[in-house]
Amino acid sequence: MVAPAKDALGCRDCHAAEGRLEKVTGIYIPGRASDHAGWLDTAGWTLAALTLLGTLVHGFGRIVLRKRK
């Protein structure tokens, strides 16, 4: 039997901190608090921020130097 639509689970029911599968050990579930690697999240967001910063600086430089022939 398939559960009715109103009882359907959303992704975040399982893929979240305090999700319904939080206590299941031995598997990796993306989004779960116990599966986070804090340093890796920090490293990833740092790289993303640096990429954005580099793009903005480069674009700004091109705008500023555009008039020089």
What's the CA gap between 5 and 20, in Å, rounded?
18
Single residue of 5, 27, 37, 63 touching ligand HEC by CB under 6 A: 27
Give min distance, CB of 12 to ligand HEC, in A: 8
What residue has token string 């921020």? 49
3 three-class SS: coil
* Under rule CB under 6 A, residue 35 binds ligand HEC: no
- Does 14 sit near ligand HEC (CB under 6 A)? yes
Minimum distance from CB of 44 to ligand HEC (Å)? 16
Taken in order 37, 47, 45, 29, is the CA torsion positive or negative? negative
Does 16 contact ligand HEC by CB under 6 A?
no
